[in-house]
Structure 1
């Protein structure tokens, strides 16, 4: 079951697309999200957001503060600062 994922900073969209998995660091620890995950709202901690895209590609975003929301296989990550890691 694919996830619809959007990673945005305060000023721009960093990445969006379909993914099989999202791993992010929250203030309560690291969390992994797969399709069918229960609804969730969490505070994002500074660190990496790792996305495994539906095509198998790996996307890594360095994110700083914000929140992570999961609802009906839609994952939204909003960070005050975020940038793709090369």
Structure 2
């Protein structure tokens, strides 16, 4: 299975960028899990955690709010008003 390319950015900084197997985030319509090959999606973030499972199996967790996430062609971009690693 292919990997995802993931970027988490806030209004003033790049929080995390790397390769991942899975991204789980909370949107205004519920939690979403993204894997390689997922259909394109655009969602408005709800306050909460973004959980990224990296290609080596480790978990990166960021708190994000006030923003959106998008995925297209196995590239996930999360843009938040505020975001920080937990």
Give the TM-score, by structure 1 length. 0.97
Alignment gaps of 5+ in structure 2: none
Structure 1 stretches of 4+ with a deviation exceeding 6 A read none
Corresponding residue for 2:42?
41
Corresponding residue for 2:3?
2
Alignment gaps of 5+ in structure 1: none
Cα RMSD of the aligned pairs, angstroms, is 0.4
Please show how residues 1-86 of structure 1 align to structure 2 within 5 Å: 1-85=2-86
Shift of 1:9: 0.3
Write out per-residue CA displacement over residues 36-82 of structure 1, whole angstroms, 9 at most, x where no aligned residue.
00001100110000000011110000001100000000000000000
Write out per-residue CA displacement over residues 12-59 of structure 1, whole angstroms, 9 at most, x where no aligned residue.
000000000000000000000000000011001100000000111100
Number of corresponding residues: 85
